[in-house]
């Protein structure tokens, strides 16, 4: 993992010779630990987290430290890291158009911290259990240790999801073992106050968050949407059901001893064991749906839901719709069969490039634009899958608008990236939804109460298939849609009015909205 490797390298350079098994670890001394934390730079998040990462890795190198001291030192270092992590996470999620280098640096810092923190805690847990503690000793040590460990692993999974990568190796086995350790002494649900790092929580709560996060299939959301989805899941977590035995309406199952993520409960496991757990939406789905319906009617987010900030409704709606779909009693099933193929596709990205190739003025030609060439791996009625064997370009992300042309063909189609999975060895898998195979490009002037608004003509793509009867969808620049405005257009030789109905999708590059087709006066 890049962040982990960076920290390990710095650890070897900075910590070599500082202590040995005879002298003991500096962090074993409480006063020295407080001095080290007190000297961390308060105004430089990068430097502070770098130093904290080095000290965390030193805890792994210093094998003579008792597990309780190792845990206490790691916990205090993590508490010191928390405000810096929060600030850099905000920068990662909310800075528009981060460069690939900036994005990679911020991601590596977080991934490296949570990986090192989890490794230290897991080492402490294994050492503690190996010393065969009494039940009372276990009840004192395990609630906090395992809560922090499961929370760290869960957060590491989230940061891997921000880059659409596979979950960390063995993470579900590690999560399960930590939870089983608390269940063995009856403390899995014992509350633990972790401060700003994880909040007031428990080992069981953190584990359930990880399960719901996995069930929600976040790989079709943008990183900021993933963060918001996690906030909604955390708020409604108690309304989802986690059972020790399967019932007819359970949707997922998993085994705490087996290193695999939650599985769809298409049929009962071949053998039932005490370590299996089953999940169903319970009342959680209905509560999320109620928030969605209220926002669609013009309401506000309930004040008790903590999203970490204020967000416009159009940002929250796609997140809530996604959660309502994937956390439903019957999650989405594949609507169209896939067929394996092997052919090349020419690809241009963005609204401007798409406007050029769909414009009648340019006759469907790319006019000097340099398309990328992608290999299509499978197709269905709804879209197709692509395999890339090279590092993805900066613009490639969930939601990216694409104009695509089969190699050797003349017609273009419009699509967008719906899923993005970053594999190993630079391989990426991309799921593309076909928006329309029939598209017209036009520059339209907004009208309000029959008069032009003075805003000037807007470049718009008109999607002519896949619409509801009497409607059309328009793709336009961001912040263009206005429910008070309409457009005039000559469609297939007839003068028509596009009357605004509903904003379907909004991101930093474009938005898609439904419009009603009316005859022009």
Q: Write the pLDDT tens digit of every residue in 18-30.
A: 333 433 688 888 8
Supply the pTM of this predicted model: 0.81
The answer to whether the Cα torsion of 219, 465, 383, 487 is positive or negative is negative
- The label of the residue with tokens 């430097």 reads 47
Give the 3-state secondary structure of residue 201. strand
CA distance 116 to 81: 13
In sequence order, the β-bridge partners of residue 386 are 376, 430
Residue 212 has a pLDDT of 96
- Quick one: pLDDT band at residue 57, thresholds 50, 70, 90? very high
State the DSSP H helix or E strand holding residue 462, giving kind and residue range, or none if neither. strand 458-463
- What confidence category does residue 304 fall into, taking pLDDT thresholds of 50, 70 and 90? very high
When pLDDT is averaged across residues 288-294 and rounded to a whole number, the result is 96
Q: Reduced to 3 states, what is the DSSP secondary structure of residue 331?
A: coil
CB neighbours of residue 91 within 10 Å? 13
Distance in angstroms (rounded) separating the CA atoms of residues 209 and 155: 10
Closest CA relative to residue 147, chosen from 112, 115, 188, 195? 188
- Please choose, from the candidates 92, 104, 81, 187, the residue with its C-alpha nearest in 3D space to the C-alpha of residue 139: 187
**To 10 degrees, the CA torsion angle through 386, 388, 392, 397?**
10
What pLDDT does residue 367 have?
A: 66
Kindly state the tokens that stand for 232.
């909604």
For 179, the enclosing helix (H) or strand (E) is helix 171-183
pLDDT of residue 363: 61
Highest mean pLDDT among 44-58, 438-452, 490-504: 44-58
Please give the CATH topology (third level) of the domain spanning 339-436: Thrombin, subunit H (2.40.10)
Alpha carbon distance 75, 115 (integer Å):
14
Give residue 15's pLDDT.
Answer: 38
Task: Answer whether 312's CB lies under 8 Å from 366's CB.
Answer: no
Q: What is the pLDDT of residue 267?
A: 75
d(CA 53, CA 56): 5
Q: What proportion of the chain, given as a percentage, has pLDDT over 70?
A: 91
Span 219-228, pLDDT tens digits: 889 999 999 9
The rounded Cα 161 to chain-centroid distance in angstroms is 5
Cβ distance 81 to 44 under 8 Å?
no
Handedness of CA 438, 444, 449, 451 (dihedral sign): negative
- The H or E element that residue 87 is part of is helix 67-94
| 251 has a pLDDT exceeding 70 | yes
Q: What is the mean pLDDT of residues 301-307?
A: 94
Q: In Å, how far from its chain's centre is CA 233? A: 13
Report whether pLDDT(4) > 60.
no
What is the structure's pLDDT at 366?
Answer: 62
Q: How large is the average pLDDT for residues 192-217?
A: 95
Q: Which one of 68-82, 423-437, 497-511 scores highest in mean pLDDT? A: 68-82
Q: Where are the domains of the chain?
A: 23-225, 339-436, 439-519
According to the model, what pLDDT value does residue 5 have? Answer: 46
* Tokens standing for residue 227: 């963060």
């Amino acid at each position: 993992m890049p962040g982990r490797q960076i920290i390990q390298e710095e650890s070897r350079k900075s910590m070599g010779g500082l202590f040995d098994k005879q002298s003991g670890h500096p962090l074993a001394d409480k006063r020295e630990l407080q001095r080290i934390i007190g000297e961390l730079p308060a105004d430089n998040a990068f430097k502070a987290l770098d130093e904290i990462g080095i000290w965390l890795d030193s805890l792994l190198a210093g094998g003579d430290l008792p597990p309780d001291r190792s845990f206490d030192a790691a916990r205090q270092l993590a508490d010191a890291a928390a405000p810096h992590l929060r600030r850099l996470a905000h920068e990662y999620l909310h800075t528009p158009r981060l460069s690939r280098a900036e994005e990679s640096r911020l991601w590596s810092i977080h991934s490296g911290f949570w990986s090192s923190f989890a490794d230290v805690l897991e080492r402490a847990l294994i050492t503690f259990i190996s010393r065969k503690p009494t039940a009372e000793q276990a009840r004192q040590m395990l609630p906090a240790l395992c809560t922090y460990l499961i929370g760290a692993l869960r957060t590491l999974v989230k940061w891997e999801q921000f880059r659409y990568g596979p979950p960390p190796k063995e993470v579900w086995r590690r999560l399960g073992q930590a939870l089983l350790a608390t269940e063995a002494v009856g403390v899995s649900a014992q509350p633990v106050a972790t401060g700003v790092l994880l909040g007031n929580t428990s080992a069981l709560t953190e584990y359930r968050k990880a399960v719901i996060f996995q069930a929600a299939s976040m790989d079709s959301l943008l990183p900021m949407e993933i963060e918001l989805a996690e906030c909604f899941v955390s708020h409604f977590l108690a309304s989802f059901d986690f059972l020790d035995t399967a019932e007819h309406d359970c949707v997922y199952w998993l085994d705490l001893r087996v290193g695999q993520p939650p599985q769809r409960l298409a049929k009962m496991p071949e053998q039932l064991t005490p370590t299996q757990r089953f999940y169903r939406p319970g009342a959680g789905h209905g509560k999320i749906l109620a928030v969605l319906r209220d926002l669609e009617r013009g309401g506000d987010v309930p004040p008790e839901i903590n999203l970490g900030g204020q967000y416009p409704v159009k940002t929250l709606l796609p997140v809530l719709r996604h959660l309502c779909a994937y956390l439903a009693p019957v999650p989405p099933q594949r609507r169209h069969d896939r067929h394996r193929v092997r052919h090349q596709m020419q690809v241009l990205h963005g609204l401007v490039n798409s406007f050029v190739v769909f414009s009648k003025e340019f006759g469907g030609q790319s006019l000097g634009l340099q398309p990328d060439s992608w290999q299509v791996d499978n197709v269905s009625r709804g879209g197709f899958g692509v395999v890339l064997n090279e590092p993805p370009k900066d613009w490639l992300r969930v939601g990216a608008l694409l104009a695509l042309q089969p190699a050797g063909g003349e017609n273009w189609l419009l699509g967008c990236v719906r899923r993005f999975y970053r594999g190993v060895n630079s391989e990426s898998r991309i799921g593309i939804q076909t928006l329309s195979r029939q598209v017209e490009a036009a520059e339209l002037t907004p009208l309000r109460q029959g008069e032009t608004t003075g805003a000037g003509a807007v470049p718009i793509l008109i999607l002519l298939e896949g619409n509801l009867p009497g409607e059309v969808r328009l793709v336009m620049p961001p912040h263009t849609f206005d429910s008070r405005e309409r457009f005039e257009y000559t469609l297939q030789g007839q003068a028509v009015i596009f009357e605004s109905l509903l904003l379907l999708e909004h991101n930093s590059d474009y938005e898609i909205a439904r419009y009603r087709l009316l005859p022009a006066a």
